[in-house]
Each structure stands twice: as structure tokens, then as C-alpha cells.
Chain A
Amino acid sequence: MVPRITALGRPAEEEATATPAKPSPKPSAESAPFWAAANRGELMIQRCVTTGRFFFYPRTYSPFVTGGDTEWVQVSGRARLYSYIIDFRPPPSFGPGPNVIAVVELAEGPRMMTSLVGVEPDPEKLPLDMELAVEFDQRGEQAVPVFRPVAQ
């Protein structure tokens, strides 16, 4: 069930049952190959056939060329920490928190929101540009990409 978000508050209280499961995405027509790859343990994103530029999130056409053709490519899974917040009032499925909501920049260029694993929710442990590698977190029938710091 999709949480209801109030104006600026927490998800509606009726959602707050005993530790609900984290959201499990339902693949859309545009994004099905991305999610199928995740279930194989692969990070696949699209590349514009005309310009060779990668992009995220999945779309029908390349955003760089009118109606441009796209191709799916398995990428390295390497990324760096681009920005983040530490949520001290996360939704129940991420509770009690704090929960890091991160944006990473893939080695191939595009950015994506994600969760970080294997690191404490502490600014001292979360320097921007920290090297990361993709892993997958199983959410029911769907795996979602998450990122872990790479040991230096």
C-alpha cells in the first residue's frame, strides 16, 4: 500500500502497524528492464543511442534527442556519494531511524536516490564523494539497488 503523505508530516498514522515491510516497487512499462535486471543482481540503465550519454530514470525515449532511441546497458555499479540527508523521523518501515537518504552519482554519470548499507548514519562517516558499490536489497519479489562504501 502506498503511504499517504500529509502536507509536511509523517505518513498517516493508520499505516503505523508493527514494523511494516519496506516499499517494494511495482515495475512500470518504462522501467521493467531496470527492475528485472535488479532481480538478477545487475544494475542496468539506459544509454542514448545517438549521443552515447547515459541517463536515469528509465524513459521511453532519450531525453537528449527528439524521440531518440535508447539501449539498456549493464553498468559498473561504482558510484560516489553525491548528497544525503539523515532523516530522524523516518516512516515506520524505516524506523525508528535515523535513516540515511542518499543520492549517488554513478561512474557513468547519472545520479539516483538510494539507501546506504554498511555505514552508520553519522556525518563523520559519510564524507561526500566517498566511493561506493552497488548491492541489492530484496523487498518481497523485487530487489532494489542500494550502495555500500568501498573499503579504501
Chain B
Amino acid sequence: MKPGSVAIVGCAESDSLGKIPDHSALQLHVESARNALADAGLSIGDIDGVAATGNFAIEVAHSMGIQPTWVDTTSVGGCSYMLHLRHAAAAITAGMATTVLITHGESGRSRNGAPGYMIEDFSPWGLYELPYGVGGLYSMFTVPVLRFMHTYGVTHEQLASVAVAQRTWAEKNERAFARDPLTVEDVVNSPFIAYPFHRAECCLITDGGGSIIVTSAERATDLRRPPVYLLGSGEASESPIVSQMADFTSARAFRASSALAFAQAGLTVHDIDHLMVYDAFAHLPIYGLEDLGFVGRGEGAAFIAEGNTLPGGSLPMNTNGGGLSYTHTGMYGMFAMQEAIRQLRGEAAVQVPDVHTSFVQGVGGMFMAAASLIFADAQP
């Protein structure tokens, strides 16, 4: 795909985020989809492609009266929507679709109309991890970090500083779920969920939805909102279970997907103004900074602890407050994209000055899958 040949023309979240017990997961999909169509000034007849995880793609389309001739049901965890965008970009440039609606909705907190997460007993997960007491994502995604901390001398205070940095962004954001001021001392003195992770270092559990609409750059110029162009993308997968991740100090899927995105865009880390790294847990932005090449090996934790990702810092990161403080419905990747698009449109709740490029790094499962996107406010 030629950089900048497709653009985001509609982008919106559900009316509210957080605790929405009266909305089903499907309602959160379609409410955000309606909002994204309104944002774009498009109607259901303009959409010929739909994407969402699993059967939701079909349910969203049918319940809204959309008759798609292109469907993507990729479901690889939280970065699925980022893969949907990459696949939609390929389909649009290949002439297989013209305008694609990508929807997310999850009743993660209220569990209203929410599908369950199963561990099948015949899967690698069921055979080789379940017998040892894994009981939730917090007891699996966290397993590699002590090896990382041991290898590079990362301190508990530095790990806590990730949660604090993101809370600093969220404090100023009225839509953020967790906005109370937070210090490193608060975090390290709080109870553990799974050592070495305290509660504030684990993602929120919320309800919410988000949708984006993507079309060709040519069509985008005729629509009402400033186009946000896709310059590059990448995707990759590694192990289905975290214990079989090849290197506990680096995510192979992060390295592979980000390298593809940079190569396609023809850009380097020095060209990026704004960064989103999916933060289900506090270690992920540290892995992300290093695996994407923004800092050297072992430098990510100190980079965050020293304030470089804070408002006014050299690399504003997770500027909505992230999965730790903004929202985390379960599959957060849609919200990382939403924030990057808002920053490039100049309409973020906490707007960073002079953002012309944004890099979004997503993760799926426990370091199982990854996707990378590079957005810009202009064609190259």
C-alpha cells in the first residue's frame, strides 16, 4: 500500500465510557458506530465493508441495516481492530471495498450481553498453563516482567512510574475513568494484585465502545472531517501462551509489526510526534518503547520515570491516560486508535501541540499478537 492512500474519515466512541450497566456489548458497538457515521457525515448505504471481532461483525451490520460485501472477523485480542484497519486498507487499495466500518463494544465491567472468555482444556493454554492456577489476565500477562526487571535492573518505583505518568494525563481528561492524583509512593505502598504488580499497574475494567470509518484518500477529501491518513501498518503473532514467549525481555511480535509499519511509511522513530502503546499492564509501554526502537535496550523504564512521556515531555505517550487510567473494556486497541486520531485532528481532551504523526502499538492476548499503525494529518 502506498503511504497515505487511505484515511480515517469517521471516528467516535460510545456516548459514555466506564460503568454503563444498561447497555449490552452489541449496543456499545452500534452506538459508537452511529456516532462515527454522524462524525463522517455518512449513512449506512455508504458502508460496504464491516469489521469487528468474531460474529459481532455480522450482528452489527445486520442490526444497523448495513449490507456488507466485505467482512473481516479477525479476533486476536485487544489489537484486533488495528488488524482490521490494516486489512481494510489493503481491501480498499485492491478495490475490494470502498468504505469500511470497524466497530468495538464491550461490557467488560457490567457483563451485559458479553461473551465469555474460554480456556479450552485441549488448547496449549488449557494443557500447559491452566494446571498451575492462572485465573485471569493479571496472572498471565505479568509473568515475564521479573525476568525483564532482573535483566535490566528496573526498579519497582520505575514500574510504578508508568501508572503515575498515565494518571497525570488522565487527571485533565473528563472522560477518563481514574482521575485521582497518584504518586509512585501511593502505588508501591498499595496491595499487590500479582507481585510485582499493584492495582494501579493493572488495567481498568470498564464498559464502552468505539468505531472508525476508513475510505480511500480520494473519497476522504470530499467528506466533512479532516482526513487522518494511514502511512504504514504491520501485524505479527508469536506464542499462544505467554510462558512460551521466546524472549521475556522483548516481544517478537512488537518488533516485527513495528518494523513493517516504519518500512511501509518510510519513517523512523525520529519522525514520530505522538505515541500510543497498549497498556493492559504497566510493563507494556516499557517493552513498547524498546521494541519499537524509541529507546535502547533497558532504557524504557528510566525514560518514563524521568518524565519524557508526560505532558510537555519529548515523547507524549498514552495521552488519554491509557488502559491504566482512561478506559479498558477488555480489548483496548480501538481506544488507542481513537486517541491518536483525535490528537491528529487537534481535538483531544488533553491536546498535544504540533502533532503531525502518531504511532499506535497494539497487543493481543498475552504478547500473542501485535499490530502497529502510523497515522498522519497529511499525505506524504
A21: min CB distance to chain B, Å: 11
Q: Chain A interface residue count: which class?
A: 35 or more
> A2 to B126, Cβ gap below 8 A?
yes
Q: Say whether, besides A113-B243, A128-B147, A89 and B136 are in contact (CB < 8 Å).
A: yes
User: A-contacting residues of B (Cβ < 8 Å)?
Assistant: 106, 108, 111, 114, 116-122, 124, 126-140, 142-147, 150, 191-197, 202-203, 205, 241, 243-244, 248, 328-330
- Taking a contact as CB atoms closer than 8 A, the residue among A2, A8, A28, A94 that contacts B133 in the complex is A94
| Chain A 128-143 interface mask (CB, 8 Å, partner B; 1/0) | 1000000000010000
Partner of A7, one of B114, B124, B143: B114
Q: In whole angstroms, how far apart are the Cα atoms of A60 and B161 in the complex?
A: 44
A92 closest partner in B (C-beta): B135
Given contact pairs A8-B108, A25-B126, enumerate 13 new A-B contacts (beta carbons under 8 Å). Answer: A2-B119, A6-B117, A7-B111, A7-B117, A7-B137, A22-B131, A23-B131, A25-B121, A28-B122, A83-B248, A85-B195, A113-B129, A113-B134
Establish whether residues B205 and A9, one from each chain, have CB atoms under 8 Å apart when the complex forms: yes
A85 and B139 contact, CB distance less than 8 A: yes
**Can you identify 20 A-B contacts, CB atoms within 8 angstroms?**
A2-B118, A5-B119, A5-B136, A6-B111, A7-B137, A8-B138, A8-B330, A22-B131, A87-B133, A88-B192, A89-B135, A89-B136, A90-B135, A94-B135, A101-B133, A101-B139, A111-B244, A115-B132, A128-B150, A144-B131
Question: Which of A9, A56, A82, A101 lies in contact with B147, CB distance below 8 A?
Answer: A82
Judged by a CB distance under 8 angstroms, whether A26 is at the interface is yes
The verdict on A88 contacting B144 (CB below 8 Å), with A101-B139, A112-B128, A115-B132 known, is no
Q: A82-B147, A103-B243 are in contact. Are A26 and B119 (CB under 8 A)?
A: no
Residues of A within 8 A of B128 (CB): 57, 112-113
Which of chain A's residues have a CB closer than 8 A to the CB of B202? 8
Given contacts A2-B121, A5-B135, A25-B131, are A103 and B114 in contact (CB under 8 A)? no
Interface contact B116-A4, CB-CB below 8 Å: yes
Cα–Cα, bound, A23→B128 (Å)? 11
B208 to A: closest C-beta gap in Å? 12
Instruction: Kindly name the residue among B131, B146, B203 whose own CB sees the greatest number of chain A CB atoms within 10 A.
Output: B131
Which residues of A sit under 8 angstroms from B130, Cβ to Cβ?
Answer: 2-3, 23, 25
Interface string of A3-24 (1 = CB under 8 A from B): 1111111111000000000111
Which listed residue (B122, B127, B197, B248) contacts A85, Cβ 8 A? Answer: B197
Set of chain A residues within 8 Å of B124, measured between Cβ atoms: 57
Most buried by B among A6, A12, A111, A115: A6
Q: How far is the CB of A113 from chain B (nearest CB, A)?
A: 4
Shortest distance from the beta carbon of B147 to any chain A beta carbon, whole Å: 4
CA distance A12 to B117 in the complex (A): 11
List the 10 closest A-B pairs by CB distance, nearest first.
Answer: A91-B135, A94-B133, A86-B195, A113-B243, A83-B147, A7-B330, A7-B108, A85-B194, A5-B117, A87-B139
